[in-house]
Homo-oligomer: A and B are copies of this chain.
Amino acid sequence: MLSTQPYKGVRDFYPDEFKKRQYIFDTWRSTLVKTGFSEYDASILEPANLYTEKSGEELGSKQLYSFTDKGDREVALRPEWTPTLARMVSAKFGEIAFPLRWFCIPNCFRYERPQKGRLREFWQLNADIIGLEAGLSDLEILRVLSVLFESFKAPKESYSIRYNHRGLLDMWIVNEIGEDKKQQVYDLLDSWKKLDDRERKETMLEQGFTSEQSQKIQELANCAGLSYETYLTYSKNFTELATIQSTISEICPNSNFIFDPTIVRGIAYYTGLVFEAFDENPENSRALFGGGRYDNLLELFGKHAPAIGFGWGDVTMGEFLTNWDLWPSFEEKTTTGVMVENKESIPELYTKILPELETKGVTYIVDYDTERSENKRWQALKKKGCGEIIKV
């Protein structure tokens, strides 16, 4: 006998779970369309070298679902959306009228140990503006994120959107710590919130930071002290960041935007603004979404267009909506029972009764079993949730 279990780390969406997923997708979709984005899509199968030719990332190797097809092609299930976007934009580079505002809701696959908030298959909203240099399009993306949270009716205290700037962070590291330590500082800040104070100190010692350097990193991460003051001074060099800092609370009064130097975004390709959102409920500790500016998006294809975008996953978002009791009540349609008493009336049933119920937006259950007693049929239809029962 075959097992009825799905493959490890993926989900079955029965109608009740499907409704929830669809609510998330519909809310994303209607908000993005409203704010001027166009939807697009591609296959989940991609040539494997789209992921393996990028410089030494985790996704390029052990987390990638890849295999050789029957025609000896190396093929992969996409682990993330961005390379597909880069491929598609590059393929029509000459014909496309920039700026693009594009979004999609693909599923992605990563081979990893399934755990809370992290599965082998997840769905992810991806939205990008391509063809506008750093500047006000950065603000536009942040505003879209705020409008998205409003669409989910998320109260201001339920989440924070934290942002930083990779150019600024690089400037600070080069001037205050030393360029040779760049990757270590990145990694350290990236894991900062997951470590306790002792672990942080141990890590800095292991990495060979001097006590002066450790002090500076701590000040930066804690947003306090001289190092943080220096950081703020440097930030004036990045005009899009200065604009965000001075206007964001006025533009998005319903969202809590926080400037946070520990936001790094592991992935190498970010070049400017970076951001992540967090559920304020600490049980849901993984980022709800993340993104930023990545002006080298098309580099692998020998093209250039500045870009900013984000990815927002369905798994942590579902947990967020549960934590804050934000699921809508999924109204069941009224169900009408239709009891066939006379087989002669079948044409009437299909040409008149059912079309009328459908026009009214009523669901129906038809009981054709004329052999059973009327009483039993009545009770069975009632048990299945039928309000009204019609006899034909």
A91: Cβ under 8 A from any B Cβ? yes
Q: Please give the count of copies of this chain that the complex contains.
A: 2
A87: Cβ under 8 A from any B Cβ? yes
Contact residues in B for A121 (Cβ distance below 8 Å): 43, 45
Task: Identify the stretch in A33-41, A182-190, A196-204, A218-226 within 8 Å (CB) of chain B at 4 or more residues.
Answer: A33-41
A75 and B7 within 8 A (CB): yes
- Which B residue sits closest to A36, measured CB to CB? B363
Contact of A49 with B139 at beta-carbon distance under 8 Å, contacts A12-B88, A41-B13 already known: no
Task: Identify the stretch in A61-69, A271-279, A321-329 within 8 Å (CB) of chain B at 4 or more residues.
Answer: A61-69
- Which B residue sits closest to A34, measured CB to CB? B358
A58: Cβ under 8 A from any B Cβ? no
Distance of A243 Cα from B67 Cα, bound (Å): 51
A351: Cβ under 8 A from any B Cβ? yes
A71-100 interface bits toward B, Cβ cutoff 8 Å, 1 = contact, 0 = none: 101010100000000011011100001010
A41 and B65 within 8 A (CB): no
Interface size class of A (residues with CB under 8 A): 35 or more
B40 and A2 within 8 A (CB): no
A251 and B368 within 8 A (CB): no
A-B contacts, 24 of them at CB < 8 A, read A1-B300, A1-B302, A2-B87, A2-B300, A3-B47, A4-B301, A5-B47, A7-B43, A7-B45, A7-B75, A8-B73, A14-B88, A18-B41, A34-B361, A43-B121, A99-B365, A132-B368, A136-B346, A139-B346, A139-B350, A143-B350, A243-B343, A250-B351, A251-B347
